[in-house]
C-alpha cells in the first residue's frame, strides 16, 4: 500500500510538470503558401541557402542571388536559418528595382518571439572577414559573414565599416540583419 501511495504521488507530481507543446503557428503574410510548402528540414538538394550550426550549405544559391541583386534586378532567395535548438526559421529575400523586402516565417521555431513579417530597405550589404578565435586554448581561423539591408547608402567601405563597428557595439543604426554566420574556417 505504501508503494502504491508513493507511485500515485509521483504520478500526480509528474502530471503537473508536463510541458505543453505549443501548437504550430502558420505564417499568414505575403508568401504564406510558399512558406507552407517548404520542408521542415531543408536539404542540400533543395534550392535553399542554408545557415546551420555546422556551416553554410548551398552557397551557390546565395552567390547566384547576390550577383543579380547587386544590379538591382528582380531576384529572390529562400534562406533557412537554424536556431541553436535545431528549429528552422525561413526567410525570403526579394530584390526588385525599388529595393529589398525580407519576409520572415518563424512558425517552425518552438521558442519564436513575435517576428516582424516583412522588412523593406533600399540597399543590400554583404560583409565577410576572417578572425582568429581561441578554441580550447588554441587560436583557430573563423569565417564571419553578415548580410544586412539598410536605407543608408554608403559611399565607401570605410564608412560602412565604421557604422558596422558601432552596430556591433549595440548602437542603433539602420542595419537590419538578414543572416549572420560565424564558424571555424574550413
pLDDT at 72: 87
Give the global pTM: 0.80
**Residue 88 burial (CB < 10 Å; 0-12/13-18/19+)?**
buried
Q: Give the pLDDT of the chain (186 residues) as one tens digit per residue.
A: 444 333 333 333 333 433 334 445 566 678 888 989 999 889 888 999 999 988 999 999 999 999 999 988 999 999 999 988 989 999 999 999 999 999 998 888 887 766 667 899 999 999 999 999 888 999 999 999 999 999 999 999 999 999 999 998 999 999 999 999 998 877
Rounded distance, CA 53 to CA 149, Å?
23
Amino acid at each position: 500500500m505504501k508503494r502504491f501511495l508513493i507511485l500515485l504521488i509521483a504520478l500526480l507530481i509528474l502530471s503537473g510538470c508536463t510541458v505543453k507543446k505549443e501548437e504550430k503557428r502558420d505564417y499568414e503574410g505575403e508568401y504564406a503558401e510558399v512558406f507552407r510548402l517548404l520542408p521542415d528540414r531543408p536539404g542540400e538538394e533543395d534550392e535553399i541557402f542554408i545557415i546551420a550550426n555546422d556551416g553554410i550549405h548551398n552557397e551557390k544559391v546565395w552567390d547566384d542571388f547576390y550577383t543579380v541583386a547587386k544590379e538591382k534586378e528582380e531576384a529572390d532567395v529562400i534562406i533557412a536559418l537554424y536556431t541553436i535548438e535545431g528549429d528552422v526559421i525561413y526567410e525570403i529575400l526579394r530584390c526588385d528595382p525599388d529595393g529589398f523586402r525580407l519576409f520572415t516565417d518563424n512558425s517552425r521555431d518552438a521558442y519564436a518571439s513575435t517576428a516582424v513579417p516583412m522588412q523593406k530597405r533600399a540597399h543590400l550589404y554583404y560583409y565577410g572577414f576572417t578572425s582568429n578565435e581561441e578554441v580550447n586554448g588554441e587560436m583557430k581561423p573563423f569565417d564571419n559573414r553578415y548580410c544586412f539591408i539598410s536605407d543608408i547608402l554608403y559611399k565607401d567601405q570605410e564608412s560602412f565599416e565604421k557604422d558596422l563597428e558601432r552596430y556591433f557595439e549595440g548602437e542603433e543604426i539602420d542595419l537590419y540583419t538578414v543572416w549572420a554566420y560565424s564558424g571555424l574556417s574550413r
